[in-house]
Amino acid sequence: MSDTATAAAHGIRIVLFDLDGTLADTAPDLADALNRTLELHGRPPLPYSRIRPEVSHGAGALIRLGFGGDFEPARQDLLRFYQADIHRKTGLFPGMEEVLGQLERHNIRWGVVTNKPSWLTNPLMAGLGLAGRAACVVSGDTTSNKKPHAEPILHACELAGGHAPGECLYIGDARRDIEAGHNAGAATLIALFGYLGENDRPDDWGADGAVERPEQILDWLVLPRPKQEK
């Protein structure tokens, strides 16, 4: 059986990734933006270890962390700082480039489904050199509903070639990602290397599996790892 046929035997024709905390490590740039916002408003900075677990939950969660509640002027400041330096420190998680390369070599399409708005998603994907490689990119404002609704994943399957949701694997680091996959009828994996907090209980999310490192995605798909890996 060929490698592609082996992966196809798993029923997967397209792999979709959450963006923040799954495909890319965006926390350093978002942490910088939050601390610059706190400084602007006369507040002390927060340690990176406190900020990282909140990154997957968006700008509102970061502002609540830093200010103890919703504060729209500060949220706008954070977004302005972040947009200006959106990929200064951001990169793919170690091993993720090899995963994408193997998917491409074995004719399995991949894309992104994120709640991040398109005016941030698109420049970030371009800055990472991924805009021309992804079969689809669905942002938080692409469809009428965001995750955990099924619509973004269903739309991504259509954009990527009309795939049935049962042929899709969705990978994310938050409960809503797994719920979105379930709601769409897709297989799901939890990215344990992402931005999980100490109160998260991923064993309770009902995913089809979990990976501690990106290259384990290939193991789950029954695809070989790149030859340079031992």
Residues catalogued as catalytic: 18, 20
Cβ(4)–Cβ(108) below 8 Å: yes
Which of these, 146, 141, 217, 226, lies nearest to 184 by C-alpha position?
Answer: 146
Strands lying side by side in the sheet with 209-211: 136-138, 109-113, 14-17, 168-172, 187-191, 209-211
Residue 222, number of CB atoms within 10 A of its CB: 15
Please state, in angstroms and rounded to a whole number, the distance separating the CA atoms of residues 95 and 143: 30
Please state, in angstroms and rounded to a whole number, the distance separating the CA atoms of residues 124 and 17: 14
Environment class of 199 (CB within 10 Å of its CB; exposed 0-12, middle 13-18, buried 19+)? exposed
